[in-house]
Amino acid sequence: MIKGDCQTTAMGIMPHTDVNEAIKLALSLDIPFWPQLPRVSFYEDMYVQISENFPGIIVNEKEMRVEWGQDKFYQELDNYALNMENDQFYTLSPAYSKVYNKFLQQDLTNYEMIRGQTIGPISFGLQIKDEHKKPIIYNDDIREMFFDFIAKKIQIQYRELTTKNKNAFVWIDEPGLEMLFMSFTGYTSERAKLDLSNFLSKLPGPKGVHLCGNPDWSFLLTLGLDILSIDVLLWGHIFTRYIDQLKEYLARGGIISWGIVPTTTGELQEENILTLVNKIEEMWDYLVSKGLTKKQLARQSWFAPARCCLINQDGHETVEKSFTLLTEVAKAIKERHL
């Protein structure tokens, strides 16, 4: 069973332009991670990073866009087939992440766990479009292929991270999941659940999903995940109402990473340790009224910032304050309930 105990972690995307400062901040948490720093380079963007070596991908650095071309796909398909069993082909290269490779140079042995991350296949497929502006997730010819490709990338990342800490894991960031439950999408939630379940079965180590939006929470709580990371600052009042699925998820030993500390300057100025602890207590009070205990919740909880943020005018200052406050909030809750 994964240890919860009010440990701290955070999302991968950070606003820093200094790689060393970003890594130092990530290492300040209980469960550190390698930061994704799109302000350092477009190649540090999570969609760009996962696209490396997938046939047909066009990285338009000037317009900061990733696309997929069918003609280019067929031109590169033979090379892809030749390299399908080559692990090096799936490794995140220094050209696509200086930060990841710098992270792997750190001494990570003394942490309870360490984490990697990548964009998930559903979000990738919805975001990347072909020359006709159609998301590639609707392309039946390549959908299974890029699901398998991303799974292989995660397998390699996991293997590399476990050389630094045996309790490494890689979660997937799936902001696109929220779109599945909107009427205009042509990729149904039923098909997505089947595809995602099959995808998760191929992943080594603990299986986790992060998203900042508000999907149908029963979809995620019944997916067989070990870790679910969410923005409870905004969506906790809805998430906690899925009480039956939540109870079953916790009964299986699942961890909830409660994203509670704001990362935008205005929001952060309105909060402090007491207000944020009270927000968690209010949500947990509701769950206790439905039969859970706060001790169980604390034992199966992590705490994190509510979401990633690249929009603050002060660069990385607000985010660093958020991380400091996060540590204080987690400590306060741990002292109350463990």
The overall longest dimension of the chain from CA atoms, in Å, is: 60
**pLDDT grade, residue 1 (50/70/90)?**
confident
**DSSP SS3 for 91:** coil
Could you give the CA distance from residue 147 to residue 24 in angstroms, rounded to a whole number?
33
Could you give the CA distance from residue 98 to residue 41 in angstroms, rounded to a whole number?
9
**DSSP SS3 for 119:** strand
Neighbours of 183 (CB within 10 A): 4
Overall average pLDDT of the 76-100 stretch:
96
Q: Is the pTM of this model over 0.95?
A: yes
Is the distance from CB of 320 to CB of 264 less than 8 angstroms? no
Tens of pLDDT, residues 169-182: 999 999 989 888 77
Tens of pLDDT, residues 28-79: 999 999 999 999 999 999 999 999 999 999 999 999 999 999 999 999 999 9
Query: For residue 290, how far is the Cα from the chain centroid?
Result: 29
- Tokens linked to 333: 């809750």
pLDDT surpasses 70 at 183: no
Give, in degrees to the nearest 5, the angle at Cα 29 between 225 and 278: 75
Give me the domains of the chain, ranges plus CATH numbers.
7-337 (3.20.20.210)
Overall average pLDDT of the 97-115 stretch:
97
Is the distance from CB of 211 to CB of 230 less than 8 angstroms? yes
Query: For residue 158, how far is the Cα from the chain centroid?
Result: 14
> How high does pLDDT run on average in the chain?
96
pLDDT surpasses 70 at 242: yes
**Residue 245: partners with Cβ closer than 8 Å, 6 or more residues away:** 217, 218, 221, 222
pLDDT surpasses 70 at 115: yes
